[in-house]
Chains A and B, each alone.
Chain A
């Protein structure tokens, strides 16, 4: 006599695989194979479009291959990597990128959180305000770059026109070393602050109301409530938004291409812009591949460190 069949299990997948196939289904088509069949199109696409190009770039990074010069690729092993890591040109671009990432992401985080905090305190029109703030994020970077280029034009731009009407002098926003990088940061901040705002707003609305009520009963000040309730609860979510933005900012290309072309001189050339020049001006495909792989590695390592910090924060 067989025992009763359990209704629940800790391993539903195993129960499913132990169940005999439905009548009419081929014996060969087990659930496992069906699962494989269903995910294989997506898997193949991923392999063809992401994994293979990455492996191919990794292979090319150890060679002197050029896409236009043709010929067979000769192994130069780590020479591309050594040249990149010891190049003063690359160090300069890395510094520019670092200043840009830190400047843009910090500004966006402060502004994004501040806007989200103010919106979260409103009871009326919150949806409309949020939607309006999100508009810049929905625009193409090229379009944003083009209209900011007109707005920042020293001669005909609306920004200088406004400064002029206030009695201030003309500023060469895009053609001076001191202002060109700041202009890029400002434009990026204009476009991407809403992203941080959106994530922060999600975090702020999820903070349980009873915590604030308890704090009010204890006559806690506004600042005390913000510091001990709001910020600690929103902080992990905000850090994830910062991570996304930092990765995005690290690979900035479009705005530089449209607004400054890396100028004046090379003072706003980011790492991505430099990779583009190495890859497409001289068609040094091997070097460009190594450059790209190094950038991916940097992002992976920094992300891992960041995620560990984030996990530690959650555990605490």
Chain B
């Protein structure tokens, strides 16, 4: 006998499957909810003061950085030199595009599992990593193993200290979470054959020289600088002009941005940038960053350009330049100088520090500490300088190995005491995005300069003040 098919009710196996599915979903959800408590303790774990016993087994020490020449130089240098001391160790510098750098590190930190042992953080990333407990507190390790007096105190603080140091100083009571890997700042690159051997000394003079050069040389733009809205490109440009014209990014003690950044000095800086400097740049340069500025210089399309020193090495390569067939010929045309001053002589602090991932295996953390101790030695810092790196130790900065390695290295040495950093706070990624998009909008005519600056100040203040906000964070 056949029964009619039941409608509206599932057969027993069907119901069982549904019940089992529902139970599994609930169980997984509960399990996942339970897993969240792991992150409740958000503070950086401490590294041992002395280096634990190192493994004799083969070990790969992994770094993460963005893809640019110093990353490749570091891998080559470390594999050539560090392995003399530790033959069982291979150094691997993993690189990601600059725009993905922050995401690549912090998404792995969020998973509490990293495929790198030494994250190379921008100085402003330290606050976010420390607050979330992603990197080791190496204060005790530094006391025991590093000669801190060998450094300019601000350089040591900028790449390792949290809470952030005051510009030019180091708080010796503050904790350290990193050590300098690569120092950097902007250099002014100028065409000696077009504007003469003597670089402009003031910002106003620089603008007038660039304007004259542009007028005298059709097809060559007066200026080339970072304007893109990715990474920190346009933000660093504005911050540099802001500093030179006597502005401040914020009052770090009261955490006040609105009314500070957009004060009279800040407005003047924005006016100079958008109304005096931007008209001297090439058409369509509103999305230029490091590579595009270098390309314009190498192709002889800019009278004066600004770029990071660590990214300027390629400018002297005849294969990449139309300015000469030898390095000497190129150097006859290109000059490198410290930034002109105006109301102040501040320059942007670039470069990065190395840190230890809190989620690396113990053997790798020990190796990472050993690498850092090795790397910060005087003779290794000089070798790093000769290999194309920018060291942070004062003795290495003053050494002939460094000063003779590139024409821009003296620029760095002369700029060390003039450096100013941005905000090193956990909210940095959002602060810099707000500034980047608004400065980029002003530079490309999408927003009036005053509105852009006021929006930056207001939106950034909103981010800093949103600590107690319950929902909708991040909008």
Residues of chain B in range 102-131 having any CB-CB distance to chain A below 8 Å: 102-103, 106-107, 109-110, 128, 131
Q: Are B444 and A76 in contact (CB under 8 A)?
A: no
Residues of chain B in range 38-86 having any CB-CB distance to chain A below 8 Å: 38-42
User: B427 CB to closest chain A CB, in angstroms?
Assistant: 7
Partner of A14, one of B5, B284, B447: B5
Decide if B133 is an interface residue (CB 8 Å cutoff): yes
Q: Are B444 and A177 in contact (CB under 8 A)?
A: yes
| Closest Cβ neighbor of B37 among chain A residues | A72
Return chain A residues, CB-CB under 8 Å to B33. 59, 73
Return chain B residues, CB-CB under 8 Å to A67. 107, 110
Decide if B326 is an interface residue (CB 8 Å cutoff): no
Can you list, as one digit per residue, whether each of A3-26 has a CB less than 8 Å from chain B (1) or not (0)?
000000001001000100000000
Mostly helix, strand, loop or mixed at chain B's interface? helix
A260–B438 Cα distance when bound, in Å, is 14
Q: A33-B13, A262-B229, A263-B440 are in contact. Are A55 and B25 (CB under 8 A)?
A: yes
Total interface residues in chain A, CB < 8 Å:
68
Partner of B471, one of A11, A76, A277: A76
Q: Are A89 and B475 in contact (CB under 8 A)?
A: yes
Q: A56-B32, A67-B110, A261-B228 are in contact. Are A90 and B475 (CB under 8 A)?
A: yes
Q: Are A80 and B441 in contact (CB under 8 A)?
A: no
Decide if A284 is an interface residue (CB 8 Å cutoff): yes
Q: Are B446 and A71 in contact (CB under 8 A)?
A: no
Decide if A126 is an interface residue (CB 8 Å cutoff): no
| Closest Cβ neighbor of A79 among chain B residues | B471
Q: A55-B29, A177-B446, A264-B445 are in contact. Are A70 and B39 (CB under 8 A)?
A: yes
Can you list, as one digit per residue, whether each of A44-57 has a CB less than 8 Å from chain B (1) or not (0)?
00010001100110
Decide if B286 is an interface residue (CB 8 Å cutoff): yes
Total interface residues in chain B, CB < 8 Å:
64
Q: Are A69 and B39 in contact (CB under 8 A)?
A: yes
A283–B129 Cα distance when bound, in Å, is 12
Q: Are A47 and B25 in contact (CB under 8 A)?
A: yes
B contact set with A: CB distance below 8 Å? 2, 5, 11, 13, 17, 21, 24-25, 28-29, 32-33, 36-42, 99, 102-103, 106-107, 109-110, 128, 131-134, 228-230, 282-287, 296, 301, 426-427, 429-430, 433, 437-438, 440-441, 443-447, 452, 463, 470-475
15 A-B pairs within 8 Å (CB atoms) are namely A40-B17, A47-B21, A56-B29, A70-B38, A70-B41, A72-B37, A79-B471, A87-B472, A90-B475, A154-B283, A155-B282, A155-B301, A261-B229, A263-B441, A282-B473
